[in-house]
Structure 1
């Protein structure tokens, strides 16, 4: 692990249910770039005897097979990493016979971290940036 701390910023937000209410202040995680499969392959290859192209090939195969398993309605269980499962948001109908694909609003990927990862995330230290009015 490195010594960089994830950053949280103070963010003002209106209450969507009561737009006349005063703003309240919340902590919001700040994105600090992206990591792609190539970067992960590079990092893994530097921590093992497996070459970078081989790591990348395994990661690509992993993504392909994970998508295939999810498309069959399976929960993909990855041990300490956690579980992935397809989820949906839909609009309701008054009668069950009125429900069809047009009720579907959004398909999403649900992730539930394994207990070890959740514990480590809960123990993270953060750098908090002060509120900056816009």
Structure 2
């Protein structure tokens, strides 16, 4: 299977009227995979029951949430790493900075080597 893409035309950012426009490829998502789908697939490679697999996935989600809120980096070996980051406004001096300048937190994901290697071998097909 290949990754499907479509083309969109984009102008130059910050240029009035868009400047010189060019065509860029963007992924055309091909559906989604739910926890139910993942459980079904994992069952094929495991002797665990559906409820055991589902329980582990839900427990992993809960633990990841807790550790991210604690500011931890979660390294899942070949799967990759999840880590928290934040966005904030700036202050003129360190003394003038206060927590109200923090706009919010988000989760970043850095894929592991196996996932990166898999994507490096992906093929691409233009969507019709």
Whether the TM-score (by the shorter chain) exceeds 0.5 is yes
Q: After superposition, what is the alpha-carbon deviation per residue over 1:54-79, rounded to whole angstroms, capped at 9, x for unaligned?
A: 11011000100111111111110000
1:18 aligns with 2:15: yes
1:38 Cα offset (Å):
1.9
Q: Please, which of 34, 48, 54 is the counterpart of residue 52 of structure 2?
A: 54
Aligned residues: 127
- Map 1:1-134; keep pairs closer than 5 Å: 4-20=1-17, 21-129=19-127
Q: In structure 1, the residue corresponding to 2:118 is in which secondary structure?
A: helix
The gaps in structure 2 that reach 5 residues or longer are none
Query: Cα gap change, 1:83/1:63 in structure 2, threshold over 3 Å: closer, same or farther?
Result: same
SS of 2:107 mapped into structure 1: strand
Supply the distance in 2 between the matched residues of 1:7 and 1:24 (Cα, whole angstroms).
19
Q: CA RMSD in A?
A: 1.6
**Gapped regions of structure 1 (runs ≥ 5):** none
What is the SS of the residue equivalent to 1:79?
coil
